A and B are shown apart, each in its own frame.
Chain A
């Protein structure tokens, strides 16, 4: 791009003035107040225009307007004519005041090409360079202050490179941008550390707190709902109990009312019976009633009269006295005496027989025969034919034994038995001898029999003495002491016979004596009965007289049942009297009970009070009845005894009401402090949103920083060698050969130059001010080349770049700019006479141009 012409139609103090430029180095010279800075601004404004937007302008634009807007008039117009590398010539007119009549016109075609370069509302010619108005001012416009800055702050050189590399010099460097982002992140996000107070940590803590708060609110809410359910259940149960109790109380009240009504009715009834007061007390005739009862009872139980006939007891006693006495002693022989006498006789006969030698021998033969027969039988056990002697011998032994046994009892019987025993023994012996030869066994039987006989005799002799003694004793006990027992016994028998005869004579005495006793007893009882009857009679007469019942006839006597007839009317009268009295007593008792009942019913109240109480209870019962459900009343009617159940229900109701009240109290207390779930959710939502915002901000910042740092490193790596070589190309010439090469650190774009003397690399910031300025210009040119779009070359506009330099440095700068103008248009505005002199001497006609400005009017 070449700027062919700039026309200040109305710009600052300039009015309808034009400067035309060549394609090479243009030196615009003018003294102070000649308007160089105005022309510099006009060039910029004419090419780039100003931002157009609604509302108030930003400070930068406002400052530009204040500085360059014409003081008088509404117009603020400037126009430039540029030639692009593609050959087009464009006339750009900027209506800086109204921002309406701004346009870019292809002067060849007459077409409006503003749309190619519209930027922030107005045509911006730097857009053809790939820049914008801010970037153009930062790169292609070099002011005096910038070179001064290099001298004062060597680091500015590096910063300029970084700024240009980052944003074409218009804004912050990438490092500053990253630092700003880091600082912003520290302030607005911060670290997620426990002790951090930065937003991220606060947001997380806040979120955790809100979440815990919501959990607690939800928990309490659930508890509240459950508690409400429990409280309702308790209240419902208490209500049910109260309803049941109410029903029962209604029933009880109804019963009490009925009872009160009954009592009042009863009291009225009783009181009506006794209008004069309490009934009289009982009649004092208890003793008479008792006598009457006893008399009647005695009459009813009166004894039958005893009839006396036959001889009297006295007469019988006289007959008894005439009878003999009953003899003492046995009237008949006593059996013991008779028996003792018989025993004595037997023993005496046995001893006599046993003392008879004949009998003793016979008994021995029997024994021998029997023994032989027995022996034969034993020895001829296998010889059957010899059995008859055995039978015979057995029979003889049996009879002999019986005879011996019988002798002590009956001598005759013993003898009678012994005789046939001897016969049979002899027969047996004969048979035995005939059948067998007899040996030792027979002999031994004979010896044995003799020994037994003697022993028997001794035995019987002892028995005789004993019986004798006994008989003597018995007789002696009966008064008979005669030694001869047979005689004594006979005397005894005679005495018995005698006493028996006497006894027969005295026999009626006992019967007569009994008859006497019986008669006496009967006579006594008859007397007693008669006395009793008399007393009954007398009592009947007395009580009849007392109670006023007709007495029996005076002659009437109670003599047995038949004789009581005269008293029957009296007794009937007495019984009637008793019945009347009983009825009277019962009536009195009834009256007394009724009066007591009345007193009980009334207690201390009057009948009116009792009726009033009945009415009150009836009203109460009705009130309670109305208070219960109809169905409940019907179901309760069946309750027989509600009192016990009422007591139970009252206790149960108290418990249930207590429980219901307790739960209701808890519920009310909880309701008063129950946190709002909705509000807790809202706080959590807000905390979530805050955390999400901070977290997103952190992510955005981290990503931005990472990508920005990455872009910075990449650009620096790309830019560093380009810038280094661009500086190196001109460095030997502008440094007079002292530095022959230049390098740029891609990390921080720091410039180093290589000394031609010792070959060392030196930091450009440590070089002389003049060298730094030259390097700065080289960097500007190189940066412009780098940043401008392909196919275009940006012009370079310099304002007073030599004024602070010594002559050598100023001339060197001018030479450098002239060198640069071989590839681009360079416009230098200066009031430096040295620059004017240099221009007059060195500018090349046709390619370069010297423009000398006349003095401008000072501001009014």
Chain B
């Protein structure tokens, strides 16, 4: 069994057996789902590049945090990078950054995005001595110190990885029945899927009850981007925002492991990216200028990336488009502007009563059974055209 404390001189006292040991509680740093080299479909190339740089900066922050907190080890629960998009210099970056942790050992449990294979960075990089990569698709033990064993596993394919806890036997370890047994892997706890982002696939799915049956004292996980703390599991969430609308206190988790296997957690924000999700109701705005001023006020003091959603009923005479508001985002890294929630102040019900083409048109549109979004756009487009307007593209 791999023992990092045998290859890395540590400051700890000798244990009861004369072996190097740790003074409990043991402090660990856990993070996951950084997704280096991820793509940002919403962003233009310069913005996306900046976001990817921020992901790297966040990893450097994690390293700084590990040193500042004097943790005994750093755990990564997978999806550290994205294999299908990894760039050549990510190799050197990861090696150098994780080398900066030395002598703090770092344990990497490859996930479904950074699955372990012969072509993966994990296999190709000449890691420094403080880096340990779990390479088997079953939990294998690593002795953190006398009495504390970390069981880690790896995804070895981008999909179809089996439940790590299914059939797991604590007695497989050479020093079975450590005082404390911890888990580290990338997997979806079925009960938490409902609280995750849409489309989150249940990779290596398991039930929370399996942890107790496995007799692992605590499992440090990756995969869910929304943070989640269970009595015996911890999802730290993605440490740097990957999309808009992420909620919950995400970041790195400083975990203190007690002699009885208990875990005390503290979350530390390490994100480099500032991401704001702003929704503004501009109801009754009477002019483009008025809307412009409202948005400008909302953006005061904002940095990073902003998703701005405008909604409300505005005068039908107001002609406003995304391009009109673009200058307001000039100082930000990136932005997404959604104005499809704006409703021109047509009194559709009244207009529908007219014995005019307009009234007939409204009645026909409403009676067509169109999907709501298309109906909204067709109605607004038609009314604008009948108003003689030229801004006929409805956001």
Contact = CB atoms under 8 A, between A and B. Distances in A.
Interface in A216-233: 218, 221, 224-226, 228-229, 232
Contacts of B85: 221, 676-678, 681
A707 B388 contact: no
Among A56, A165, A708, residue most surrounded by chain B Cβ atoms (within 10 Å): A708
Nearest to A697: B393
B360 interface: yes
Contacts of A685: 39, 41-42
B285 A55 contact: yes
A165 B378 CA distance: 20
A211 to B, nearest CB: 14
A232 B122 CA distance: 12
Contacts of B385: 172, 177-178, 180-181, 184, 704, 708
Contacts of B345: 120
Interface string B192-203: 000000000000
Interface in A166-197: 166-168, 171-172, 174, 176-178, 180-181, 184, 188
A119 B316 CA distance: 12
A53 interface: yes
A358 B168 CA distance: 147
A700 B355 contact: no
Contact of A700 (B37, B87, B394): B394
Interface in A656-671: 671
A707 B289 CA distance: 33
Given A55-B289, A678-B48, A704 B382 contact: yes
Interface in B370-385: 370, 374, 377-378, 381-382, 385
Interface in B350-366: 350, 353-358, 360-361, 363-365
Q: Size band of the B side of the interface?
A: 35 or more
Given A180-B388, A686-B44, A696-B377, A707 B356 contact: no
A717 to B, nearest CB: 10
B77 to A, nearest CB: 22
Nearest to A667: B88
A54 B368 CA distance: 35
A677 B83 CA distance: 10
Contacts of B390: 180, 184
Contacts of B53: none
Nearest to B289: A55
A398 interface: no
A674 interface: yes
Interface string A258-293: 000000000000000000000000000000000000
Contacts, number: 182
Given A120-B345, A171-B386, A174-B386, A166 B358 contact: yes
Nearest to B375: A703
Contacts of B88: 224, 671, 674
Given A55-B286, A180-B385, A682 B360 contact: no
A682 B365 contact: no
Contacts of B49: 679
A701 B381 contact: yes
A58 B388 CA distance: 15
A699 interface: yes
Contacts of A323: none
B69 interface: no
A678 B119 contact: no
Contacts of A226: 119
Nearest to A693: B393
A33 to B, nearest CB: 33
B215 interface: no
A787 B355 contact: yes
B45 A683 contact: yes
A766 interface: no
A177 B119 contact: no
Contacts of A165: 356-357
B119 A707 contact: no
Contacts of B370: 703
Among A127, A132, A676, residue most surrounded by chain B Cβ atoms (within 10 Å): A676
A12 B182 CA distance: 86
B315 interface: yes
The 4 closest A-B pairs by CB, nearest first: A53-B286, A55-B287, A685-B41, A671-B88
26 contacts: A51-B315, A54-B286, A56-B289, A58-B287, A119-B347, A130-B350, A167-B357, A172-B387, A172-B388, A177-B382, A180-B390, A180-B392, A181-B392, A225-B119, A229-B118, A229-B119, A229-B123, A677-B39, A679-B48, A685-B41, A703-B378, A704-B378, A707-B368, A708-B385, A712-B357, A715-B357
